[in-house]
Amino acid sequence: MKNILVICTGNSCRSQIAHGYLKYFAFKKANIYSAGIEKHGVNPRAIATMQEDGINIKEHTSNLIEEYKNVDFDFIISVCDHAKEHCPYFSTSKAVMIHQHFKDPAAVKGNNRQIHDAFENIRIEIKDFCRTFVKQYL
């Protein structure tokens, strides 16, 4: 069984969405973890947008990368540039490093519809990425 870590800055949106989709698409082929270089808590809008696609991440927790320092990862996926640049694992791990930057939907300002659309658009992008990753690597 492969071990996969998904990282972003605060482990609140993008990495949580990727965690949910990787777990869904990899079904019993991998252990999925997500973490941040900071811990911001799981964003309620990330939970809601995943629920709209039938994926439940309500029980996910926001974790720091250091919590998984003893896990031997096969893949580390960064989903934002900031995490890639500041993640200590990228220089020390023997894991395959994959980087795919996604815009932060939590940074979008506007009315509820605009914010919802931002989360939905990023969710779709991350879903496509995760589906492709699983097909290619698992």
E strands present in the chain: 2-8, 30-36, 75-78, 96-99
Selecting among 57, 80, 122, 126, the annotated active-site residue is 80
Phi, psi angle pair for 16, to nearest 5°: -70, -40
Q: Any catalytic annotation for residue 8?
A: yes
Selecting among 4, 5, 6, 8, the annotated active-site residue is 8
| 3-state secondary structure at position 50 | helix
Q: Any catalytic annotation for residue 13?
A: no
Selecting among 87, 106, 122, 134, the annotated active-site residue is 87
Cβ atoms 123, 17 nearer than 8 A: yes
- Would you name the residues annotated as active-site residues? 8, 80, 87
